[in-house]
Amino acid sequence: MGRIFEVRKSTMFARWDKMAKQFSRIGKEIAIAVKSGGPDPHTNPALRRCMQNAKSVNMPKDRVEAAIKRAQGKEMENYEEILYEGYGPHGVAILVETATDNHVRTVANVKSIFNKGGGTLGNSNSVSFQFKKMGVFKLKPEGLNLDDLELELIDFGLEELGEGTGENGETVLVVRVGFTDFGNMQKALEEKGITPISAELEWIPGTPVELGEEQAQDVLKLVDKLEQDEDVQKVFHNLA
């Protein structure tokens, strides 16, 4: 087991703005999960995942409960999940996951950010073929026997197990599975009494692009602008 490859993170905008954005993102994920699977986390694994992720970013419990209650209301917006693809400066591939109640507004905003940031918004499948959609679970390493864990999780779709970095720079264990095995792995971890720090679906780049620091900053500025848009949930890229 070695250190798992992770793309460079963009952390330029202010801490409180970033926290508000994280709460908004998870609030939308909760709304989508409740709409599709109901408000009971015991019978809705997608909602359980959202609640785990809310805890990982210190989202207050009352805000989580309010988001679940709000999602059950008739006046709640119906969010559509749309993936946008494009290239940033210096040929870096970028995927933008959005959740929107107005796709016309969203595509206009995303296209404008790409253009102003020296990038180009592409067509469907123009970029995504360079990535693999995977389930990514981050675990606290304490109390876990890594060799035993690896053997136990192989039967549930484990593809990669290694060390990574948490939100605050701490060392975590990263478990990656194929997209279709996400539910199996989530259930397996629950049955073993392991509560993930976070459980996400992510686009993992196949071949990272190496750039100099100045060129990399051009890319990260664009990523940062995309991440700040109200309709954008997550941004993935292949910058090493």
- Pair of tokens at residue 200: 């996400």
Q: What is the pLDDT of residues 74-117, one digit of tens each?
A: 777 889 999 999 999 999 999 999 999 999 999 999 999 999 99
In which band, very low, low, confident or very high, does the pLDDT at 32 lie, cut at 50, 70 and 90?
A: very high
Cβ neighbours of residue 140 closer than 8 Å, sequence gap 6 or more? 172, 173, 197
As its CATH architecture, domain 131-204 has 2-Layer Sandwich (3.30)
| pLDDT, mean over the chain | 93
**For 5-14, 69-78, 113-122, which range has the lowest pLDDT when averaged over its residues?**
5-14
Average pLDDT over residues 9-17: 68
CA-to-CA separations, 111 to 105, 114, 116, 182, in angstroms, rounded: 10, 5, 9, 31
* Half-sphere exposure at residue 130, Cβ-oriented, CA atoms within 13 angstroms: 19
131-204 has the same fold as 80-129+206-237: yes
Q: Give pTM, 2 decimals.
A: 0.91
Between CA 28 and CA 50 the distance in angstroms is 10
| Domain ranges for the chain | 15-71, 80-129+206-237, 131-204
Residue 70 has pLDDT above 90, yes or no: yes
DSSP string, 23-38: HHHHHHHHHHHHHHH-
Average pLDDT score over residue span 208-225: 96
CB of 7 within 8 A of CB of 78?
no
Q: In the chain, what percentage of residues exceed pLDDT 90?
A: 83
Distance CA 6, CA 78 (A): 33
- What fold does the segment set 15-71 form as a domain? Arc Repressor Mutant, subunit A (1.10.10)
* Predicted pLDDT of residue 93: 98
Please report where in the chains the tokens 């750039």 appear, as a residue: 211
How far apart CA 221 and CA 10 sit, in angstroms, is 8
Task: Give the contacts of 127 (CB within 8 A, at least 6 positions apart).
Answer: 85, 86, 87, 93, 94, 95
Other CB atoms within a 10 A radius of the CB of residue 102 amount to 12
**Class of the CATH-defined domain 80-129+206-237:** alpha beta
